[in-house]
Amino acid sequence: MILAMWSGPRNLSTAMMRSFANRRDVINVVDEPLYASYLFRSPKRHPMHEEILKSQPTSYKEAINNCLKEFPGISFQKHMVQHVNFDESNDWMSSLKNFFLIRKPESVVPSFCLKYPDADINDLGFYQQYELYKYISDITNEEPPVVDATDIRNDPEKILKLLCKKLDIAWDSQMLKWQKGIHDYDGVWASHWYHSVHSSNCFIPEKNYSTDFDKNTGELIFQSTKFYNSLAQKKIS
């Protein structure tokens, strides 16, 4: 089975990758396999740009072929929705067991802008998540599960058990804890983006976020909220 998690940036996605990687039946873990192909066709200059391009296939089709490789147990893939090439056929996603990880814009946008100050709506993944959810629902004739990062942080065992049931996989209590530090499946960009998760070994309750935003951050939150709300109506709770 190939499990594919479709997330936006700063969504708790790396902690979720740690959680699934710690399962006893997960044999293979892949961190953002479409990233280099996205940067190759994009004018964006991300931190560690050249290192990322050298670390993965820059061909979208080659990256897809890698995503479809089968393993004897579960293969877990952490994807960023903004890396998807919507100009290509993505029917390959019907071969995967898909689910979506969402998070409130008030938590995502300030965190992302702190790491990448030139961010615009295209970098945040909210509308791409909405479009991809509709697309995968259409090609599979079923709605993939949706989980919210805040719910996971505040009650990880409950939400992860419900998610496992939706994905038709057994619950594994090892999903609740993992080893601190860098892991061998982390992408080369980990040194820039993964500082907080490298020092963690479990999910921790979410703190109250600030509501004092600058004009640009506030505008990005406003633009993102309608897409988040559409998927939040479908989340597991």
In a 3-state reduction of DSSP, which class is residue 206?
coil
129-164: per-residue pLDDT in tens?
A: 999 999 999 999 999 999 999 999 999 999 999 999
Best CA proximity match to 93, nearest among 105, 101, 81: 81
Give Cβ neighbours of residue 56 (< 8 Å, ≥ 6 apart). Answer: 33, 35, 36, 37, 63
The answer to whether residue 237 sits within a structural domain is no
Computed over every residue of the chain, the mean pLDDT equals 93
Q: Are 224 and 109 in contact (CB under 8 A)?
A: yes
Across the chain, where does the E strand assignment appear? 2-7, 26-31, 74-80, 97-102, 146-148
The answer to whether residue 110 sits within a structural domain is yes
Paired sense of beta strands 146-148 and 97-102, if any: parallel
- The pLDDT of residue 118 is 77
In this predicted structure, the answer to whether residue 196 has a pLDDT above a threshold of 80 is no
The answer to whether residue 11 sits within a structural domain is yes
Domain range for residue 26? 2-232
- The pLDDT of residue 47 is 85
Structure tokens at 189: 């960009």
Which CATH number is 80's domain given?
A: 3.40.50
The answer to whether residue 195 sits within a structural domain is yes
pTM for the predicted model, two decimal places: 0.94
Count the domains in the chain: 1
| Stretch 87-97: mean pLDDT | 96
CA–CA distance, 115 with 117 (Å, rounded to integer): 6
The answer to whether residue 162 sits within a structural domain is yes
**Cα separations in angstroms, 86 against 60, 121, 135, 236:** 11, 16, 10, 27
141 vs 192 pLDDT, higher one: 141
Would you place residue 112 in the very low, low, confident or very high pLDDT band (cuts 50, 70, 90)?
Answer: confident
* CB-neighbour burial class of residue 86 (10 A; exposed 0-12, middle 13-18, buried 19+): exposed
Would you place residue 209 in the very low, low, confident or very high pLDDT band (cuts 50, 70, 90)?
Answer: low
